[in-house]
Amino acid sequence: MNMNDIAAGGLVLLGCGKMGSAMLAGWLAQGLPAASVWVMDPHPSDWLKAQGVHLNEGAPLAPAVVLIAVKPQMMGEALLVLTPMGNGKTLFVSVAAGTPIAAYEAVLGAETPIVRAMPNTPAAISRGITALIGNARASAADMELAEELLSAVGQTVRLQSEAQMDAVTGLSGSGPAYVFHLIETMAAAGVEQGLPADLAMELAKATVAGAGALAEAASEDPAQLRVNVTSPNGTTQAALEVLMDKEKGFPPLLARAIKAATDRSKELSRG
């Protein structure tokens, strides 16, 4: 099954906020006809209303794919609408944080193919990364279809076990927020050192974006790229002595932040 089969069978999108819209934009850009998409969302955005998809109207009972992108807290109520579609033919893909596959199986039946996925917001510019894992009923073709859908908004990786999903959520799902906060704090620190705010923000954004692109493109690993910036006894070394401090620097701070996100994902999973 591929995008053409999805176009023929129909795709139902439950929840079209930030993540749902990013994915929908990617699919439409890849040529999925708007007429083959049914979106269910009680609060549709103006952008969504302009896309020509079916909005809150009679979805097919056995679409090729249902993609679930509602908040985990709304899941119980939202899933009830989908119960009749759990027929073993439709593939369900959920991007919700902290909602285990078992929660979908409980509502849709264990015979239903279900893929749990964790994307991130750079999906909005097709630069996301999504980790995926399927249930026992998800066939190789189902996994490929889920990958095809999610690769419309960036890279995909498959997980070995669902247990990895909490740490993935803490690292790459929530991760863009850490990087945006890094940009905010670098710019604020530049202002503290005497730069005008708009110049400091321009420098901070370009530095993070450029360093990210270099980390992705270079054959050296990030540790070597860091060394390449660091002249002996120079300015970078002075900064890294602060940032790499084992008690107060990035290592313990980010370890705590990512643990907090991972723990919250585990808590959400327990319901």
Ligand X SMILES: NC(=O)C1=CN([C@@H]2O[C@H](COP(=O)(O)OP(=O)(O)OC[C@H]3O[C@@H](n4cnc5c(N)ncnc54)[C@H](O)[C@@H]3O)[C@@H](O)[C@H]2O)C=CC1
Residue 175 interacts with ligand X (CB under 6 A)? no
Phi–psi pair at 130, nearest 5 degrees? -125, 130
Nearest to ligand X of 99, 112 (CB atom): 99
16 marked as part of a ligand binding site? yes
Cβ-contact 67, 14 below 8 angstroms: yes
Neighbours of 25 (CB within 10 A): 19
- The listed partner (ligand X, ligand A1CAB, none) that binds 95, CB under 5 to 8 Å by sort, is ligand X
15 marked as part of a ligand binding site? yes
Burial class of residue 15, CB neighbours in 10 A (0-12, 13-18, 19+): buried
Residues of this chain, 84-143, that bind ligand X according to CB under 6 A: 95-97, 118-121
* Rounded Cα–Cα distance for residues 63 and 252 (Å): 47
Residues of this chain, 30-69, that bind ligand X according to CB under 6 A: 40-43, 69
Nearest to ligand A1CAB of 6, 97 (CB atom): 97
Nearest to ligand A1CAB of 142, 166 (CB atom): 166
| C-alpha distances out from residue 249 to 181, 239, 253, 255, 259, Å | 16, 10, 6, 10, 16
Among 3, 6, 19, 131, binds ligand X (CB under 6 A): 19
Candidates 13, 137, 7; CA nearest to 66 is: 13
Residue 174 interacts with ligand A1CAB (CB under 6 A)? yes
Among 173, 200, 204, 269, binds ligand A1CAB (CB under 6 A): 173
